[in-house]
């Protein structure tokens, strides 16, 4: 069935910090035409109605139509320890996270949490995500089954951590075998993908990290996700364990984990050389401002990473991150940048949460910009979701409207979320949807 969706459409075709207004795709009164889950046309209402005279159109005038958000770093296994404070990273993992992740030994708990997690993603406008599960393979399977049911683009991985507390530790080779079995069963199934997932350098033996690098090399369609240089204490501990490596990044490089398919979360304490080597390898960064602030980890040098033209996506990083909403995450990203005298433009922020995230995950041919031929994952954003937003955005030009939504918006501003042209979430009380 062919269906039109009318509203103010905005997306990015490239990085606006380098291409300026040329990277902005905007139809103030436009229509996207969806057929069989794909965008087959996008233009002004006048042009579309002339080209498709018999088109059934859902009129969402007054709403912004945007690509669904892409969350570049999130832990579904940490839903139940969100807002668990009072610790820095390493203490938080030990006292808050690991006890929570032990619950995923229960299959029913994994399944219930996976279902809740994806519903919260959709409520917040997130339609694609790169996700950490736990060291239990069944936690990955539960997430994949829930994602298949929701028809979402989800890339996930079993956490490799043979040096973790006994209840969570996998066996060095057993964990690698479990990872390969999951890849063979799930990679490319529906809209699913796999990421080999060493938690971070301190929780895996050198033997397991070697194995992770071999798996990444043997399966050219998968990603690698991990954490890098999140806190100074972590960096010091890594230096102590790997004294012959010049820095934390070289540890991963030595194990074959620094590639164009590698996604490193945080990267707060990288040298200029580190950024240069990331850029040279084609690896990317997940920028996670709410978790960095919540744990007191530090400030990501966005300007420096951007200068090196490293692909940067936006990550909510739930549960250290304090919201599923990438709108709320954009607000914190802006503040982190301002503290370092960098101005994060609203179009650049939208790029981070959509096309840049899709590029980071290697799925930009499918999603991220609502271009013709892409899958019709999109959101309806209500600029009048709250009285204050309505007052601030009334009669505002697009840049001001978008900025206000990013600074003051959250899941309440997501009027509806569509997966391949089908409504997957609707905000209660929203009229005419």
pLDDT at residue 431 above 90?
Answer: no
pLDDT for 167: 87
**Is the per-residue pLDDT at 433 higher than 90?**
no
pLDDT at 19 over 90: yes
pLDDT digits (tens, 9 = 90+) for 337-375: 999 999 999 999 999 999 999 999 999 999 999 999 999
% the chain with pLDDT above 90: 97
Q: What percent of the chain has pLDDT over 70?
A: 100
Predicted pLDDT of residue 291: 98
pLDDT in tens, 148-173: 999 999 999 999 999 988 889 999 99
Whether 432 has a pLDDT exceeding 80, the answer reads no
pLDDT value, residue 429: 79
pLDDT over 80 at 47, yes or no: yes
Average pLDDT estimate for 302-313: 97
Task: For each of the domains in the chain, give its residue range(s) and CATH number, in order of start.
Answer: 2-68+369-426 (2.30.40.10), 69-324 (3.20.20.140)
For the residues 379-400, what does the mean pLDDT come to? 97
Task: Grade residue 99 by pLDDT with cuts at 50, 70 and 90.
Answer: very high
Residue 48 above 80 pLDDT? yes
Please give the average per-residue pLDDT across 30-36, as a whole number. 98
Report yes or no on whether pTM surpasses 0.85. Answer: yes
Mean of pLDDT values over 118-137: 98
User: Among 164-168, 187-191, 239-243, whose mean pLDDT is lowest?
Assistant: 164-168
The chain-wide mean pLDDT, for the chain, equals 97
CB-CB neighbours of 220 under 10 Å: 7
Q: How confident is the model at residue 91 (pLDDT cuts 50, 70, 90)?
A: very high
């Amino acid at each position: 069935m062919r269906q039109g969706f009318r509203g103010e459409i905005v997306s990015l075709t490239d990085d606006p910090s380098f291409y300026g207004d040329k990277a902005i795709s905007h139809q103030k009164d436009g229509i996207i035409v969806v057929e069989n889950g794909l965008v087959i046309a996008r233009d002004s209402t006048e042009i579309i109605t002339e080209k498709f005279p018999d088109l059934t159109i859902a009129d969402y005038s007054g709403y912004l139509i945007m690509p669904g958000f892409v969350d570049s770093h999130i832990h579904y296994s940490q839903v139940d320890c969100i807002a668990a404070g009072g610790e820095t990273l390493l203490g938080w993992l030990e006292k808050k996270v690991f006890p929570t992740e032990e619950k995923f030994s229960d299959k029913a708990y994994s399944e219930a949490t996976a279902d809740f997690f994806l519903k919260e993603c959709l409520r917040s406008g997130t339609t694609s995500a790169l996700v950490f599960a736990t060291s239990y393979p069944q936690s990955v399977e539960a997430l994949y089954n829930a994602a298949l049911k929701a028809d979402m683009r989800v890339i996930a991985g079993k956490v490799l951590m043979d040096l973790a507390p006994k209840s969570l530790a996998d066996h060095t080779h057993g964990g690698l075998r479990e990872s390969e079995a999951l890849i063979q069963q799930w990679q490319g199934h529906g809209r699913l993908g796999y990421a080999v997932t060493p938690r971070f350098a301190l929780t895996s033996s050198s033997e397991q990290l070697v194995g992770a690098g071999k798996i990444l090399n043997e399966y050219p369609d998968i990603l690698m996700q991990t954490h890098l240089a999140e806190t100074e204490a972590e960096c010091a501990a890594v230096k102590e364990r790997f004294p012959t490596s010049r820095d934390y990044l070289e540890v991963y490089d030595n194990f074959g984990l620094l590639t164009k398919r590698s996604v490193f979360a945080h990267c707060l304490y990288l040298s200029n050389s580190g950024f240069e080597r990331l850029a040279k390898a084609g690896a990317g960064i997940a920028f996670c401002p709410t978790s960095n602030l919540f744990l007191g980890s530090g400030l990501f040098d966005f300007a420096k990473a951007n200068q090196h033209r490293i692909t940067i996506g936006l990550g909510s990083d739930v549960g250290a991150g304090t919201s599923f909403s990438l709108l709320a995450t954009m607000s914190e990203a802006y503040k982190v940048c301002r503290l370092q005298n960098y101005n994060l433009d609203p179009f650049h922020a939208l790029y981070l949460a959509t096309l840049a995230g899709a590029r980071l995950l290697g799925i930009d041919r499918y999603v991220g910009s609502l271009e013709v031929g892409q899958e019709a994952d999109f959101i309806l954003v209500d600029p009048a979701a709250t009285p204050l937003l309505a007052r601030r955005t009334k009669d505002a030009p697009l840049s001001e409207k978008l900025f206000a939504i990013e600074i003051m918006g959250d899941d309440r501003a997501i009027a509806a979320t569509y997966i391949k042209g089908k409504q997957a979430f609707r905000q209660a009380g929203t009229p005419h949807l």
